[in-house]
Amino acid sequence: MTSSRKLVTGAAPQGTNDANSAAQAVREMFTSIAPRYDLLNHLLSFNIDRVWWRRAARTFREVLSRPDARVLDLCCGTGDMTFALRRQAGKSSSHASQFLGADFSHAMLQRAFSKSVGRVTDNSKTDNSFGNKSSANGRPAMPGWIEADALNLPFPSQHFDLVTSAFGFRNLADYDAGLREIARVLRPGGQCGILDFGEPKGAIGQLYRIYFKQILPRVGTMISGVRGPYAYLPASVERFPEPEEMLERMRRAGFAEAGWTPYTFGIAGLYRGTK
Ligand SMILES: C[S@@+](CC[C@H](N)C(=O)[O-])C[C@H]1O[C@@H](n2cnc3c(N)ncnc32)[C@H](O)[C@@H]1O
């Protein structure tokens, strides 16, 4: 391990001192920005987020082309990565395939559900799952949405062919526990894809840091009307393991062929591994 940074367990928003309070703070933060999350995402990333989701989904085209692929998108938020995976699967998928998005923020999932059915959902809904996982008429399945904690998934072991997470993994209160849980629900040979922010180096890195640490938190706070989440974002990226350390953690959790592909000068990047 070459990182000089302290070995961190997981995300720790300001004011939290253990895994439970960190997870609760993360959930409250995303719930508070859910109404403006999509707008801010696209605005603050200049729409590059759409390119990243598509590119990550394309990486898994082989597994997504299987007609019976079982796919889980963790920390799915409002569902854009899940939709990108579903679109990549396209006509290959069948009634036997499964596309699930899981998140522990009810408000984020409600937006994902609204987007998938194109209508506003009933706010009084208390069920913890949304949408159909496979269609009754034999047509390809639309994504289903499940309210669940990524560190304690309500799925049997060795169930999925692909587990992804876009910009969510970094927020877990325990990264190693998160990797172990992904490995548990993947079938042998199954693939894991973690898309998350990185810290670009050199002159681009310097410019980017000015934007990411000074401009983005101000604009995010102004538009969302919530103080906190957009200051937490750069802090959480700074805290997140460097690629080399993250890959070592993946190997320790049981992933072979672990690799990292930088996106857009390393502003983001995709971790891949095979169980
Ligand atoms: C930055 S958003 C990413 C959403 C989406 N994947 C995207 O690419 O836009 C992070 C999401 O991770 C979710 N999250 C964080 N920790 C989680 C956990 N332990 N279990 C489930 N969801 C979690 C949050 O609720 C939030 O919706």
Global confidence as pTM: 0.90
- Better-predicted residue by pLDDT, 14 or 275: 275
- Find out whether the beta carbon of 108 lies less than 6 Å from any atom of ligand 1: yes
Contacts of 50 (CB under 8 A, 6+ apart): 42, 80
Average pLDDT over residues 4-10: 73
pLDDT at 168: 97
Q: pLDDT tens digits, residue range 144-171?
A: 999 999 999 999 999 999 999 999 999 9
Q: pLDDT tens digits, residue range 172-207?
A: 999 999 999 999 999 999 999 999 999 999 999 999
Atom index in ligand 1 nearest the CA of residue 38 equals: 9
Atom index in ligand 1 nearest the CA of residue 150 equals: 20
Q: Is residue 268 pLDDT above 80, yes or no?
A: yes
Average pLDDT over residues 233-238: 91
Residue 269 DSSP class: E
- Find out whether the beta carbon of 168 lies less than 6 Å from any atom of ligand 1: yes
Instruction: Label residue 124 by pLDDT band (50, 70, 90).
Output: very low
Residue 156: count of CB within 10 angstroms of its CB:
9
- Better-predicted residue by pLDDT, 94 or 259: 259
**Nearest C-alpha neighbor of 16 from the set 213, 236, 241:** 236
Best residue among 75, 83, 86, 152 to mutate for probing ligand 1, ranked by most atoms within 8 Å of CB = 75
- Find out whether the beta carbon of 150 lies less than 6 Å from any atom of ligand 1: yes
